[in-house]
Amino acid sequence: MNDKQRLKEIILEKSYRKGKFKLSSGRESDFYIDGKQTTLSAEGAYLCGRLIFALIKNHPAEIGAVGGMTLGADPLVTAASMISFLEEEPIPAFIVRKESKGHGTEAYIEGQKNMEPGCNVTLLEDVVTTGGTLFQVIERVAAQGFKVAQIITVVDRREGGAEALAAKGYKLETLFTREELLAP
């Protein structure tokens, strides 16, 4: 079994739920993917990190940092950064806050000291529905002078997020689409 097949098993076992759920987008759905149940498991984090780092390495632009919105992206950016170090191609991680820090620097982005000014970044997300969270991250990252060169999600629910990002010039890369994840 390869890494992607094993990760699919873990997501279906730990993160996928059927039922009636309200999503962060405000939409209702007959299924829910709680990505953190997978990304906070040791094996799930490791596999996500390996698969994400492979996509980063294959990107034509040199990536200077990997980050995303807290809380969904936190374990992903850490896993990808750790794998990059183990592969002797270290890429620092950063976290984007939902609200600016209420004291000190009042920053939205944690980890900037590890990033080269103006570098290309990869944004990560555990699950994408409409892309709303990613648009907030893109805005905050761009405001600090960084260039979003790549966006990767573990699962694309296929509910308009990829299309909304594409309309703004961004390509969404996925480990799994909804169809891939739910296919037998």
Q: Is residue 87 part of a domain?
A: yes
18 domain residue, yes or no? no
4 inside domain: no
Beta strands in 2-111 (DSSP E): 16-22, 28-33, 65-69, 93-96, 109-110
171: CATH: 3.40.50.2020
Mean pLDDT of the chain: 95
pLDDT in tens, 47-77: 999 999 999 999 999 999 999 999 999 999 9
**pLDDT (tens digit per residue) in 88-102:** 999 999 999 988 766
Higher pLDDT, 124 or 101: 124
Q: Establish if 2 belongs to a structural domain.
A: no
Domains held by the chain: number: 1
The tokens describing 171, both together, are 């390509």
By residue count, the chain amounts to: 184
According to DSSP, the β-strands at 65-69 and 28-33 are: unpaired
* 169 domain-assigned: yes
Give a yes or no: residue 21 inside a domain: no
Which residues does 33 contact at the CB level (< 8 Å), separation at least 6?
A: 11, 15, 16, 17, 126, 127, 155, 157, 181
Q: Is 10 within the bounds of a domain?
A: no
The confidence score (pLDDT) of residue 184 equals 86
Confidence of residue 104 (pLDDT cuts 50, 70, 90): low
Q: Let me know if residue 102 belongs to a domain.
A: yes
User: How high is the pLDDT of residue 27?
Assistant: 85
- Decide if 77 contacts 124 (C-beta within 8 A): yes
Confidence of residue 105 (pLDDT cuts 50, 70, 90): low
* Stronger pLDDT, 107 or 168, i.e. the higher one: 168
Question: Domain range holding 78?
Answer: 47-179
Burial class (CB in 10 A: 0-12, 13-18, 19+), 104: exposed
